[in-house]
Chain A
Amino acid sequence: MDDIFGIPAPLLFGQLLLGLINGAFYAMLSLGLAVIFGLLNIVNMAHGAQFMMGAFAAWMLLAWLGIGYWWALLIAPIIVAITGIILEKLFISRLYKLDHLYGLLLTFGLALIIEGVFRNEFGSSGLPYRIPTELSGAWDLGFMFMPVYRGWVVIAALALCLATWVIIEKTRLGAYLRAATENAALVQAFGVNVPRMVTLTYGFGVALAAIGGVLAAPIYSVNPQMGSNLIIVVFAVVVIGGMGSILGAILTGFALGVVEGLTKVFWPEASATVIFVIMAIVLLARPAGLFGRA
């Protein structure tokens, strides 16, 4: 097998793939955060917890009801989105007139509650979730073996991100959404039910996080902390990309995942911090973020 820059090719491509997968999760989560922030002006600190809920919902559907992966991919996000909608109606909607920081504090509190409850119920060791038979095995690409499931995650995440982009940029519903992001009062005056749109948008963003959780369940072990460490990296991704642009969020997510993967090959010790370092550099050079508006 050939070496590339003195690194064995399988190792390089393996880490590149892992990076792409992490990037897929960064992209989906930062996309959900950006959609929610655009309309609600709230940083959803519970996003990581909702990602974790998606994974647990898939696990529960399989373990308790015998419902498999493909149905879970549809049902789990709906369940989690419904819980999100309830949270929005009960709590978050009371804060829209206050300082944005209160929304951050409230959703942080909600995240603590959700994580604590799951930790009490399931412990922190993690539960296994089998890869569905249709997606098990690996492709021989000539230069490396690629597990089918990992390829599927990247493709599925990419498709979801692009679908979200199409909905927001190309449909009438998306046009309402963008208009409400600019000026909610005016859109309301045109007869659009803005509060309902806000609620559904939150539900949609939460559903994106939950789908991410279902996709992640067979790769990472399903455990209550799986979301909280991920979400801090996603915050850095959001700061780097800026929350103004949907495509920007997707691109930044995947790119940073790849950068992180490559760092793991060339300088493993720095792989945990590289995204934060990039964030610091971007802030010094372009405070509004790569795709952000000042």
Chain B
Amino acid sequence: MASDTTITAGAIAASVKPGEGVWGFSRAQLIALGVLVVFLAVAPFVLYPVFLMKLLCFALFACAFNLLIGYVGLLSFGHAAYFGMGGYLAGHAAKVWGLSPELAIIIGGATAALLGAVAGWIAIRRQGIYFAMITLALAQMVYFFCVQAPFTGGEDGIQAIPRGRLFGVLPLDRDMNMYWMVVAVFLGGFLLIHRIIHSPYGQVLKSIRENEPRATSLGYRTDDYKLLAFILSATLAGVAGATKSLVFGIATLTDVHWAMSGEVVLMTLVGGLGTVFGPLVGAAVIVTMQNYLAEMGAWVTVIQGVIFVACVLAFRRGVVGEIASLLKVKL
């Protein structure tokens, strides 16, 4: 087929035969995973833990988004809704209901799952660009809801969310404890996504991405598969948002705004659509960039726009996709 006419060319070009590697991981992926685990273990002693936690929350968010765009070929332009609502509900549960952090995160994820079920049920009726526009419009609706609803605190957001004690025992006020919990949440989500895309269910998702009418003609109810993928993706985005609101103790309108939906698209695009490690690398690049350029105000938007344009025109495989194709491995 033509080199990169579909949106996830990197993934197709570097796909490996099933059965190779361990637990669905290719050898290159196992090495990369090892590097990642070592990095996560060493990093908090070298870098600022709160920065790392922010990075991991966005990385999980981008991985969740990539599950849809990379493996089902659905571009959701409204993922901020699930990220932000997950954050709001987790914050509300921890602060007002006084629940422990693990329950708050579960509630955040469950809210996002419910929201994703409704939005996905509506949006999967159309494909391609219409799907993108519908998800964007539905997310804007969620945004307006959050502006008006009393429990979100409007412009102020939910502030002073307590981190609480994990399982009622381990105090998370200490950054290092919180860090290990965030690492656990991230790795859990990351491995779950990996498991999903390498399961028989994931194979059907990929066949829908490649040729939906054909998958239908083979007897798969493609809408059911797409809806489940949408719900899974929304849930993990909600978990990421919930974790982030616990880390920073605040949930605001920024996280449900369409600009956040754009940011997660950018992270995934920079890292490499349809690669397992791409969203993580993309999130690291964008979060680091925002950290260093925070004083530049609106120029950050301009720079993000330039990266968007550059990626689409010249760099469609993203960082990880380029490395993978250079080394001829799957990452």
Contact = CB atoms under 8 A, between A and B. Distances in A.
A110 interface: yes
Contact-residue bracket for chain A: 35 or more
Contacts of A228: 258
Given A109-B312, A273-B144, A102 B7 contact: yes
Contact of A97 (B5, B299, B301): B5
Contact of B308 (A97, A108, A272): A108
Interface stretch (B49-57, B123-131, B214-222): B123-131
A272 B7 contact: no
Contact of A235 (B6, B133, B306): B133
Contacts of A108: 262, 265, 308
A289 B122 CA distance: 13
B298 A116 contact: yes
Interface in B287-304: 297-302, 304
B111 to A, nearest CB: 18
A109 B297 contact: no
B15 interface: no
Contacts of A259: none
A115 interface: yes
B257 to A, nearest CB: 10
Interface residues of B, number: 46
A294 to B, nearest CB: 10
A105 B265 CA distance: 9
A112 B269 contact: no
B309 A110 contact: yes
B141 A277 contact: yes
B138 to A, nearest CB: 6
B313 interface: yes
A102 B308 contact: no
A236 interface: yes
A116 B308 CA distance: 14
Interface string A101-117: 11011101111111111
A112 B301 contact: yes
B137 A104 contact: no
Nearest to A271: B144
A287 interface: yes
A101 B128 contact: yes
Contacts of A95: 312-313
Contacts of A98: 4-5, 316
Interface of B: 2, 4-7, 75, 77, 122-123, 125-126, 128-130, 132-134, 136-138, 140-141, 144-145, 147-148, 258, 262, 265, 269, 297-302, 304-309, 311-313, 316
Q: Which 8 A-B pairs give the minimum distances between C-beta atoms?
A: A109-B308, A112-B305, A113-B305, A116-B301, A116-B302, A276-B141, A119-B298, A236-B137
16 contacts: A91-B313, A97-B2, A99-B7, A101-B7, A104-B129, A109-B304, A112-B301, A112-B304, A115-B301, A228-B258, A236-B140, A239-B126, A272-B144, A272-B148, A276-B141, A287-B126
Interface of A: 37, 43, 91, 94-95, 97-102, 104-106, 108-117, 119-120, 228, 232-233, 235-236, 238-239, 269, 272-273, 276-277, 279-280, 283-284, 287
